[in-house]
Amino acid sequence: MDGIHCLSEVTTSLLNFLSIFSTFHFQIQRDDCYEMVILFNTHTHTHTHTHTFYLSFFVLIMSYMQAQTAQEESIRMTAIRKTYQKAIITPTHHVEQLWREYENFENSVSRQLAKGLVSEYQPKYNSARAVYREQKKYVDEIDYNMLAVPPTGSFKEEQQWMAWKRFLTFEKGNPQRIDSVSSNKRIIFTYEQCLMYLYHYQDVWYDYATWHAKSGSIDSAIKVFQRALKALPDSDTLKYAYAELEESRGAIQPARKIYESLLGDGVNATALAHIQFIRFLRRNEGVEAARKYFLDARKSPDCSYHVYVAYALIAFCLDKDSKIAHNIFEAGLKRFMHEPVYILEYADFLSRLNDERNIRALFERALSSLPPEESVEVWKRYIQFEQTYGDLASMLKVEQRRKEALSRTGEDGASALESSLQDVVSRYSFMDLWPCSSKDLDHLARQEWLAKNINKKAEKSAVSNGPATLDKIPAGLASNSNVSGKVIYPDTSQTVIYDPRQKLEAGIPPSTTASGFKAASNPLSNPIGLAPNVFDEVLKATPPALISFLANLPIVEGPAPNVDIVLSICLQSDVPVGKTGKSGTAQTPMLSGPATSDLSGSSRSRPVPSGSSFKTRDRQSGKRKDRDRQEEDETATVQSQPLPRDVFRIRQIQKSRAAATTSQTGSVSYGSALSGDLSGSTT
């Protein structure tokens, strides 16, 4: 819609220019008109011919305007020349075509004048063309069909956001080295185009407004913030940025209205809104205004401990009044005793006052009311305090109390009460200085973790080893175990690291295989208690190559499949052996002596054919038998099916059976084999 609006503005300006031109008061209007054309088309990359179209339209208008005098003609030619000169120095589409048209125009007016003007604008045109080529790299990454929707975090949206950021950075660098006014116009137009697609991105609005502010145009920055809040009314970040801008230029009342909009009716206001408004009042209206608002805000049910801490620090750091700050912390302690963070902030404040007695009293009061699982950080800060303010006895006493308190929360029980080297390291370290190396620190941290989980691992191992092992666990420890008995864990105590360099250094058993190869004894031991003679028979039946392979396998300690059991099961199983040959193709033994045939009913002596003839005949006979058997199977299959009830189908089956019977009768002739022929007929 913005692009259509710009088109209508440009068209309207051109029409206004026509009416103004007739009265010869057109100089400013014409410049403004073409300025809009240039600005719109400089970055309108979705309409590649727009710039050329409006320029041609402008030149066409100027060409058809009939000048009455020589002065009018001079003004007309000057207007066209300025239009071309402004176009050829703009990095836009078809800038090469515009340059050629400009050269033709100058040559048509005056060749002598054209030579000087062309040489003057040639470097500017080259610069514009080079910038356009560089600019096109950034523009090609932008998807101008993208819809302006709230960000969802998709990869495509992030890519488009980065593409626009790179394009804006390129334009801000002023690669063409033009004047600041023209450069700012280009940057503004680029931001406006970017917001057409990234309309719901608050960082783009903020960058746009801050760029205006840094450029010295505060009013433009305020307008951008106002537009941003209309687009993103729920963005508290933009509201704070807008209020900061108003406050920085001295507009206190507009800034106050922005803060009040953040507070709303005061019932559902956030703690951060209360804190920032108190700071704003303290900066601009003084101590009493901030104190008055704090007294009202503390009555709100949504007022958290953050408001107390913030105002106490304001009173202490800005007002230099430690007594009021101390009273605020004490008032908040009655309400937020269960908040460890508030207690630590109160302790930091007392540490600034160097109030050792009240710090100890605060820790004791807090630790007596806090549950053990929420007091870890408080105990840690208490120990640090004793390391700074106390002596060795008080320091060791607090550490022991901490162990006793935290031991009731963990599952390790009494092991947490034992002293460790980690306590010494923590006790004698300062800031980033440690009494040991980083390697030792890692080792101690690892040991501490193992000590906390050693009992859990023992219980898991006991469950995996069965009920007999559970009987050995103490009753108290077993009762505290929450490990389910239905879960079976692997026995990791026998797990070892595989080392391929381990070799089997074993002798050769006395038993040998049938082929003379000896079997290795260690990898093929007798773990299942077979009789020696039975195991030797198993080894004899094992192929020698497999025995050699098993003998060279590395040693594997721990849970592993037993090779002997696997082999014995494989050897004892009865695997059916399928027939690989064709049925009915049994080999016919070679006959010696005369062969007779009664195919034709006569007994004639025939010479015995050679072995090759028998093979050929057997092959032909086997094929014929296979074919006959296949036909019989098909016939049996057809006959075994129940007859259909359809009369037409019954007749078809009868005809097919009759045809099959007829095809089985006839004459068969055999070719000659060496010295004789075999002929006969079968019925």
Dist. CA 393–CA 370, nearest whole Å: 25
Q: What is the mean pLDDT of residues 26-45?
A: 41
Instruction: Give tens-digit pLDDT for 222-275.
Output: 999 999 999 999 999 999 999 999 999 999 999 999 999 999 876 778 999 999
* H-run or E-run covering 669: strand 666-673
Question: What is the separation, in whole angstroms, between the first and last Cα of the chain?
Answer: 97
Q: What is the pTM of this model?
A: 0.59
More confident residue, 551 or 92: 92
Q: What is the mean pLDDT of residues 493-510?
A: 54
Q: Is 604 exposed, middle or buried (0-12, 13-18, 19+ CB in 10 A)?
A: exposed
More confident residue, 336 or 40: 336
Confidence (pLDDT) at 530:
59
Please name the residue that has the structure tokens 């697609």: 197
Kindly report which listed range (144-153, 316-325, 479-488) carries the lowest average pLDDT score.
479-488
More confident residue, 528 or 485: 528
Confidence (pLDDT) at 501:
56
Asked whether residue 506 carries a pLDDT value surpassing 80, the answer given is no
- What is the chain's mean pLDDT, rounded? 73
Confidence (pLDDT) at 28:
37
Measure CA 498 to chain center.
35
Confidence (pLDDT) at 86:
87
Q: What is the mean pLDDT of residues 405-425?
A: 70
Asked whether residue 284 carries a pLDDT value surpassing 90, the answer given is yes
Confidence (pLDDT) at 569:
75
Instruction: Give tens-digit pLDDT for 487-497.
Output: 667 777 777 66
Task: Check: CB of residue 171 under 8 Å from CB of residue 42.
Answer: no
Q: Which amino acid is it at 255? A: A
Q: What is the mean pLDDT of residues 83-94?
A: 87
Phi/psi of residue 147, nearest 5 degrees: -90, 150
The segment with the largest mean pLDDT, out of 42-56, 74-88, 513-527, is 74-88
Instruction: Give tens-digit pLDDT for 643-678.
Output: 455 556 666 677 776 665 555 444 443 343 333 443
- Give 512's contacts (C-beta < 8 A, 6+ positions apart): 518, 519, 540
Q: Which amino acid is it at 189? A: F
Dist. CA 108–CA 126, nearest whole Å: 22
Structure tokens of 171? Answer: 């334009």
Dist. CA 179–CA 89, nearest whole Å: 13
Q: What band does 603 get if pLDDT is binned at 50, 70 and 90?
A: very low
Percentage of the chain exceeding pLDDT 90: 38
Measure CA 411 to chain center.
37
Asked whether residue 85 carries a pLDDT value surpassing 60, the answer given is yes
Q: What band does 502 get if pLDDT is binned at 50, 70 and 90?
A: low
Instruction: Give tens-digit pLDDT for 267-276.
Output: 778 999 999 9
Cross-strand pairs, 668:
680
- Give, as one character, the DSSP assignment of residue 591: P
Asked whether residue 16 carries a pLDDT value surpassing 90, the answer given is no
